[in-house]
Amino acid sequence: MNTFLENQNWRYATKKFDSTKKISTEDFNTLKEAIRLSSSSYGMQPYKIIMVENPEVRAQLQPAAWGQSQIVDASHLLVFANITNFGNDDIDSVLNVFTSERGLPENALDGYGGFIKSKIATLSEEVKNVWTAKQTYLALGNLLNAAAELKIDVTPMEGFDPTAVNEILGLEKLGLNASLLATIGYRHEEDETQHYKKVRKSTEELFITL
């Protein structure tokens, strides 16, 4: 646990990446697996992760991300996209995988599925979209922690125009919406931010005992 906390103190939101340094395939696969294993509400994982590898597309995305250099300089760019208007078909699709992977009888999870549907079907489309977008933050948390263990830098980004990103990547027609961006790579030695003292609320200020 001490190592985990040391790595949390090491990580920061990198402002300038070294564009000459690339993440190995092995390490990137580890990060992908960490994202895949993330917790999510009901185990539904109501999102997709878009890996933007085309440098021309990344250049198109940069203005939509307020011109931030990380978009084009980082080794990898991920777009966390929540599924819009998540519904019964999406739930059934996930539960079918549960049933198959666990070797269960065909209708074994009908009760669980009915429970989930009763909770989600009553929500408005707007509320459902907020819920699915929140789930992407859980996946992002796993990415941040796994990357820190590997001494790989990640900059999570909310600073972008979702409408523009959706249009550039054609997400709307896929029933998706860009919720978060994450640039991944290695900090540039010229990034002064890495030398800033990490500042967070004190334990006494942050935690409340009832």
Average pLDDT of the chain to the nearest whole number? 97
At 114-129, the pLDDT tens digits run: 999 999 988 999 999 9
> So what's the pLDDT on residue 122?
87
At 176-200, the pLDDT tens digits run: 999 999 999 999 999 999 999 999 9
Per domain, the residue ranges of the chain are 2-87+124-206
The token duo for 98 is: 């549960």
C-alpha to C-alpha distance for 183 and 23, rounded to whole angstroms: 12
SS (H, E, C) the chain: CHHHHHHHHHCCCCCCECCCCCCCHHHHHHHHHHHHCCCCHHHCCCEEEEECCCHHHHHHHHHHCCCCCHHHHCCEEEEEEEECCCCHHHHHHHHHHHHHHCCCCCCCCHHHHHHHHHHHCCCCHHHHHHHHHHHHHHHHHHHHHHHHHCCCEEEEECCCCHHHHHHHHCCHHHCEEEEEEEEEECECCCCHHHHCCCCCCCHHHHCCCC
> So what's the pLDDT on residue 128?
97
At 66-116, the pLDDT tens digits run: 999 999 999 999 999 999 999 999 999 999 999 999 999 999 999 999 999
CATH number corresponding to 2-87+124-206: 3.40.109.10
pTM score of the predicted model? 0.95
> So what's the pLDDT on residue 95?
97
> So what's the pLDDT on residue 125?
96
